[in-house]
Amino acid sequence: MGKTKTFRSFLGALPGNIFAGFVVSLVALPLGLGLAIASEAPPIAGILSAVVGGVVVALLGGSQLTIAGPGNGLVIVLLSSITLLGGGDLYQGYLFTLAAVVLSGILIFLFGLFRFGALSEFFPASALQGMLAAIGIGILAKQVHVMLGVTTAGGSPFDLLAQIPDSILYVFQNPTIEVLLAAVLGVGSFLILILYSRIQNPIFHLIPAPMWVVVLAIGLTYYYEFVAAVPYPMGKNLLITLPENLLGNLPFPDFGKLGSLEFIGIVISLTLISCIESLLSIKAVDKLDPLKRRSNVNKDLRALGIATTISGFVGGLNVVTVIARSSVNVNNGGSNRSANLFHALFLLLFIVLFQDQIQRIALPALAAILVYTGYRLAAPENLIMLFRIGKEQGAIYIVTLGMTLAYGLITGITFGVLATFIMHVLINKSVFFFTRNWLKPNVLMFQEEDSGNYFVSVKNFCSFLNFYKLKALLDEIPEHEHVIVDFSLCEFVDHTVMEGLSDYRRSFSSKNGVFEIIGLDVHFSDTQHPFAIRKVLPMKDFLNLGKHLTKRQKTLEILAKKLNWSYRPELSSEANNLEQFEYFKSKQINYQYNVLFDETEQFTLFDLSYSEGAFIAKEDLKSSFLMIRLEEKVPQFILDKEHLLANLYEPLGYQDIDFVEAPDFSRRFFLGGKNRKEIRKWFTPELIFFFESHSYFHVETNENTLLIKGRNRLSSIDEIKKMLAFGTELTQILKKQ
């Protein structure tokens, strides 16, 4: 009975997953080609790893929405491996590297088997970000030149960065059509990628940004072929070549360097980076899942290991879980593992059917995608964010970034971990505090017999060194329960832990659970940021961020005074159970700020930072919201402006409710909800007239709270006043009913 039911729901979700898989393959095609080319491997290697990854991980993996394929993080290791092991002969280096890929696959499988899924917990969050930024800069430094059509640049990342002015000068000094066309294609592609999220046209957004780049690149060749009728003026070295017979002559890994020290180093780097990138991505995708399922990371690691080994044998690269493609999957309605499988099948179809078209894609276009990827990894916003959290976090980031660029990934992350530990020692002015307590148990969890609440107490210190102990306990609490985490016996809590806990708070809140953190009020923190390090003993306040109010904040303060409300400008990660609203189901809430609320906290007005998608497909949004607590329970519904392509809520299972007696309202508004009958009864003519006669807001209810959202940006003071008036009037109408 249960089996057939799940099978039927699987079939029902199939069309959605085929579509999602298709869209993902549109992104995966250029990324796969680009990442392989950036690693100096044959372009087809990237597609092969995505195909193998998609099939194997879909069948054996432990997560639902992730997409597997070649990853950004590995580009640097693969590149140095291919150039180093080949000793100048790139193809021979590629064959040696395939052997390293096969072995790292076995290691990744073993990591999964021995349940090392907690591995990524042992790295401080800021150091990991620094390492990712270094990878981003590494990719960017090399690909900027290719984007401009220059393929001669080489050397260390620092050398490559220093050569950027030369490459730009080269373009201006040699204004031939060949040089200019390559540069224009590259820069144009880059502009598409940057401006994509700014263009709010839903039809334009039907095709993902990387595919627009591909369309532009291929379209250009057709223009020259059919309209201008001249040979395509693009250098031979800037075009892709795919093997004539795809399956006929698969390269076979060369195990000739098995014992050499550099080979072993590469295997270890590949394994470590694969695991870290995959684990971080899986964690990030879980946050985006509208159904909030929990992924089995160890099972995923095993599947990725098997996929990597197979991929290495057929000439592909390492297979990792990739965040950008996964988030495209979520945003396009992917709901189970079959989307990953379909993405692989579509890719296979593309390289078989469109071999000619793929060979028309010029390298500058692909390089532009990689430059954009690199830029997103190393975005300065990340560093600024870390400085907001605390000066020391910024320092850790910079140390890791610099060390990774100069000495490679393993050295870089080691220095990052050391730097973090030294910071913690300096802040606490004691090494013994850590060494004495590190290996001792420090966490206690019990379910209180009378209330049924889970109580978790942490002693001594809690940092990246021992966060896994706390996590192991928290992972065993069902997310719909009430948890109290008590830090009053804990003297030091670091940024990694604070950030990790905020993830827990989010997942508990989205499943109607409660996740409370207590005992941190005796702790001192350096900045107001919710993720800042907490320490019991006071420390000198040397960074006064957030003390100066902006003009808008000052007017908000005045408004609050006028209304006799309270005003809190500082950031807070407490999100008022916003996750329970449908609007936030596949979005991630970052923090809220500029909170205005009345005495009884019936009305709460706030600005919210949240994001949709992840990594290169990520869109950061800031909007103003008004939340109203009603006295009585109201039926759950969503009311929004009706869009041309208003299937936004269909993946969530909502259909538009129309009223025969109110054609204008039905035409202009999308109304959906779980209990359609109740909603119909509840929407009286008076209420419908109210909505018709006022400007559009996104209105949503959940039990007895009403959420009103302004525009897709922060509202101005006037708009906020309008929103308040709208909310007040609406509440009065509801009161009458």
Partner 1 sequence: MNSTPFNRILIGFAFSPNLKANVFEAMRLAEFLGAHLYFLHVGSKSPAKAKTFTEILEESPVQPKDFTVLWDEGTPIEVISEQCEKNQIDLLLLGAMQRENMVKFYMGSIARKLTRNAPCSVLLMIKPSVVRKASQHVVVNAFESPGTENTIRAAFHFAQALSASKLTLVEEIDRSEVAEEADDDRGLRKVTLRKEKLKRRELSRVREILTHIPDTLKENIKIHSQSIFGTRGYSIGHYAKVVRADLLIMNSDEKRKRFLERIFPKDLEHILSELPTDVLIIKNKQNG
Identify which range of 174-182, 296-304, 599-607, 635-643 contacts partner 1 by CB under 8 A: 296-304
| Contact code string over 49-68 relative to partner 1, x by CB under 8 A | -------------x------
Cα-flanking dihedrals φ and ψ of residue 608, to 5°? -135, 135
Residue among 96 and 508 whose Cβ is closer to partner 1: 508
For residue 478, the minimal CB distance to partner 1 (Å) is 6
The answer to whether 609 contacts partner 1 (rule: CB under 8 A) is no
Considering only residues 464 to 503 of the shown chain, the ones binding partner 1 according to CB under 8 A are 475-476, 478, 486, 489
Q: Does 440 bind partner 1 (CB under 8 A)?
A: yes
Name which position in 446, 558, 684, 703 contacts partner 1 (CB under 8 A). Answer: 446
Q: Per CB under 8 A, does 572 bind partner 1? A: no
| Residue from 481, 545, 210 nearest 361 by CA | 210
Instruction: Classify residue 295 by its DSSP letter.
Output: P
Question: Which listed residue (9, 59, 113, 115) binds partner 1 by CB under 8 A?
Answer: 115
Residue 489: Cβ within 10 Å count: 12
- 457 scored as a contact of partner 1 (CB under 8 A): yes
Name the segment binding partner 1 (CB under 8 A); options: 133-141, 337-345, 435-443, 550-558.
435-443
Asked if 522 touches partner 1 (CB under 8 A), the answer is no
What gap in Å lies between CA 442 and CA 490, rounded to an integer? Answer: 9
| 491 versus 640: smaller Cβ distance to partner 1 | 491
Which spans in 289-362 are helix H? 297-313, 323-331, 338-353, 355-358
Q: Which of residues 123-142 bind partner 1 (CB under 8 A)?
A: none
Q: Does the CA dihedral 645-646-652-658 come out positive or negative? A: negative
632 binds partner 1, rule: CB under 8 A: no
Looking at residue 215, its amino acid is V
What does R_g of the chain's alpha carbons equal in angstroms? 27
Using CB under 8 A, count the residues that bind partner 1.
27
Site string for partner 1, 174-213 (x = CB under 8 A): ----------------------------------------
Residue pair 587/292 in contact (Cβ under 8 Å)? The answer is no
Q: Are 536 and 694 contacting, i.e. CB atoms less than 8 angstroms apart?
A: no
Q: Which residue in the set 449, 521, 661, 718 belongs to the binding site for partner 1 (CB under 8 A)?
A: 449
Asked if 116 touches partner 1 (CB under 8 A), the answer is no
d(CA 628, CA 188): 46
Tell which positions 75-114 bind partner 1, by CB under 8 A. none
Told to check if 283 binds partner 1 by CB under 8 A, we report: no
In Å, the largest CA–CA distance within the chain is: 83
Check binding of 294 to partner 1 (CB under 8 A): yes
Between residues 118 and 652, which has the closer beta carbon with respect to partner 1? 118
Q: Does 118 bind partner 1 (CB under 8 A)?
A: no
Which residue type, as a one-letter code, is found at position 416?
A: G
Nearer to partner 1, 86 or 519 (CB): 519
Sort residue 429 into left (φ over 0), alpha (ψ -120 to 50) or beta.
left
How far apart are the C-alpha atoms of 170 and 205, rounded to whole Å?
35
Output 433 or 696, the one with its CB closest to partner 1.
433
CA dihedral 313, 318, 323, 325 (to 10 degrees): -40
Does an H or E element contain 671, and which?
strand 669-673
The answer to whether residue 459 forms part of the interface with partner 1 (CB under 8 A) is yes
DSSP string, 643-661: PTT--TTGGGT------TT
Q: Give the side-chain half-sphere CA count within 13 A for 710.
A: 23
Per-residue contact flags (x/-) with partner 1 for residues 408 to 427, judged by CB under 8 A: --------------------
Write the interaction track for partner 1 spanning residues 376-395; mark x where CB under 8 A is met and - where it is not. Answer: --------------------
Minimal distance, residue 294 CB to partner 1, in Å: 5
User: H helices of 337-446, where?
Assistant: 338-353, 355-358, 363-377, 380-389, 391-407, 409-428, 432-437
Report the C-alpha gap between 420 and 432 in whole angstroms.
Answer: 16
For partner 1, give the closer residue by CB, 187 or 445.
445
Give the three-class secondary structure for 627.
Answer: strand
d(C-alpha 331, C-alpha 261), whole Å = 44
299 contacts partner 1 (rule: CB under 8 A): yes
Query: Which tokens sit at 435?
Result: 């060494």
Cβ-based nearer residue to partner 1, 455 or 659: 455
Based on the shown chain and the rule CB under 8 A, indicate whether residue 296 belongs to the binding site for partner 1.
yes
Q: Which of 297, 320, 699, 734 binds partner 1 (CB under 8 A)?
A: 297
| Residues binding partner 1 (CB under 8 A) | 62, 115, 117, 293-299, 440-441, 443-449, 455, 457, 459, 475-476, 478, 486, 489
